[in-house]
Amino acid sequence: MNNTQTKKPGFWDRVGIGLSGICALHCLLVPVIVSLIPLWPAFEELHGYTHLFFFLAITPTVILSLRRKHESMVTTIYLISGVLIIFLAWFFNETLGEYGEAGVTLIGSLLLIRGHWLNYRTKRKTIQA
């Protein structure tokens, strides 16, 4: 990836939207896949680390997309609360259960997608003005 791509306004927001979307799809599809493949114990072990992986992948995109000051704190609130919710879903996964963890993580993913979209639109408007 060259330096001009990372300097494009909204690059990290587009990356964040993509990662959050993959995370949301994961949360929606894993219960279906688990119910269809009950004899695959390795999948269950691997699934225990996916939320941590998504948290570790999504957090830098939020930090990088928030490097500049925003016109509205709403965008920052969406992004930070989305990351915190995904972290809490991972941290309290035993308490929430499989479906609770997926539901809470899905909420965090939707907040991240919304925050990145607002951030992307704001940066695009700033450049056009």
At residue 48, the pLDDT reads 66
User: Helix (H, G, I), strand (E, B), or coil: what is residue 18?
Assistant: helix
pLDDT tier for residue 70 given thresholds of 50, 70 and 90: low
DSSP 116: H
C-alpha angle 106-48-37 in degrees, rounded to nearest 5: 85
Specify the amino acid at residue 28: L
pLDDT band (50, 70, 90) for residue 84: very high
Query: CA-to-CA distance for 7 and 4, rounded, in angstroms?
Result: 5
Q: What is the rounded (10 degree) CA torsion for 102, 103, 105, 111? A: 150
pLDDT average, residue stretch 7-15: 76
Q: Where are the domains of the chain?
A: 11-128
Q: What is the pLDDT of residues 19-68, one digit of tens each?
A: 888 878 877 777 776 666 555 666 666 666 777 787 888 888 888 877 76
Q: What percent of the chain has pLDDT over 70?
A: 73
The predicted structure's pLDDT at residue 39:
56
Q: What is the pTM of this model?
A: 0.71
Distance CA 26, CA 38 (A): 17
Task: Give the per-residue pLDDT at 85.
Answer: 92
Evaluate if residue 1 carries a pLDDT over 60: no
- What's the confidence (pLDDT) of residue 26? 77
Query: Other CB atoms closer than 10 Å to residue 88's CB: what's the count?
Result: 16
Kind plus residue range of the DSSP H or E element containing 58: helix 41-65
- Amino acid at the residue 25: L
